Structure 1
Amino acid sequence: MPRRQVDFVPGHHYHLYNRGNNRQNIFFERENYLYFLQQFRRYLVEDTLDVLAYCLMPNHYHFLVRLRSQTLSQQMQAFSLSYTKAINRRYGRCGSLFQGRFRSIHVNCDRYLLYLSRYIHLNPVAAGFVEAPEAWEFSSYREYVELRQGTLPKLNPIRQDVGTAEDYQAFVLANAVRLPKLSHLMLDE
């Protein structure tokens, strides 16, 4: 396979995402989402990265992360393989679950973190699954607006730019209608 265009540097932020092979679902029931997050924590969060924001959608996922080590590619490969094997075993399927290896974008501006978190948290709204981001269970938005006390996302790097939970919620909702299409982040290309 060709070499990655993005170099992974500890201390830097990245948007990690991937979707199902042939745009098919990667989550089939609630337990799949929970298992995915459990495995992500096991393979990546313990030693490799900090999660700032995330959203799991039926056929794709988004993570905004800060790297702590240079082993991201290897850990993501192990994680993806582990999840794919579990799903294949559970549903009697075979073959790849994901459309190739994960994709990544280097986030080189702190201000961009805030806007990217909004994009990630508004994914279920934009897709028409829910009317408000807090209604989607499989995103870190509920932690940001203090509706859930989860331990996966680290809120400070993003919340420091807007302040309180109410300020973050106002930022996300006030701009939801005017959210520009970020074509390089969209998974419909």
Structure 2
Amino acid sequence: MPTRSHANQLRAGRYSQSGQIYLLTAVTHLREPVFRDWRAGRLVVDQFRLAKSEGQADSLAWVVMPDHFHWLVELQNSTLPRLMLSTKSRSAREINAYLGRSGQFWQKGFHDRAIRREENLLAVARYIIANPLRAGLVKRVHDYSLWDAIWL
């Protein structure tokens, strides 16, 4: 019997529910630290905003790290695969054009975790935006410019 790839195994139980809150993570190809360039990071943020304006998802909190992002969303009129495909493909085109390059930008797939209703959303958001602190990129969260949360 053929074995399924790890990515397919991750997708096997994936379920998209409108109104559900998810923590989404995507990583750059070969973990290249492209988002050390602030403007490249802002191009990803533009896609988060576009997803909201298109009614796909409401952004609750996010952080763009040098080689990945974490995005806390409430899914609206979309599915997780559709939301992430549009966010990753459009940001890849924009960032590659900005950097004058071509080719694969993101690693295939993404990680998602449904947030249970009993979880403290503010605590999840704080964990997300504290990533630059834990990574040693800054000494204070406010010294890092690529994050936001609706509670602040």
**TM-score (normalizing by structure 1):** 0.68
Which residue does the alignment assign to 1:124?
132
Q: In the alignment, what sits opposite 2:114?
A: 106
Does residue 1:82 correspond to 2:82, yes or no? no
Aligned residue number for residue 52 of structure 2 = 45
- 1:90 partner amino acid: Y
8 A contact 2:43–2:94 mirrored in 1: no
Residue 99 of structure 1: SS of its match in structure 2? Answer: coil
Is the alpha carbon distance of 1:132 and 1:28 closer, same or farther for their aligned partners in structure 2, counting shifts above 3 Å? closer
Structure 2 unpaired stretches of 5+ = 1-6
**1:154 pairs with 2:150:** yes
Within 5 Å, give how 1:45-64 maps onto structure 2. 45-46=52-53, 47-64=55-72
Once the two structures are TM-superposed, the CA of residue 111 in structure 1 deviates from its matched residue by 2.6
Q: 1:145-174: per-residue Cα shift (whole Å, max 9, x none)?
A: xxxxxxxx433xxxxxxxxx7xxxxxxxxx
TM-score by length of 2: 0.83
Superposed displacement of residue 137, structure 1: 1.0
State the percentage of identical aligned residues. 27
Query: Aligned residue pairs: how many?
Result: 143
Structure holding more strand per residue: 2
Structure 1 stretches of 4+ with a deviation exceeding 3 A read: none
Conserved in 2, the CA contact under 8 Å of 1:6 and 1:106? no
Deviations 1:57-112, CA, capped at 9 Å, x for gaps: 11110111111123332232122111112222232333211111221101113434
Q: Which has the bigger relative contact order, CA under 8 A and spacing at least 6?
A: 2
The residue aligned with 1:158 is none
CA distance in 2, matches of 1:88, 1:70: 26
Judge which range, 57-66 or 80-89, deviates more.
80-89
Cα RMSD (Å): 1.9
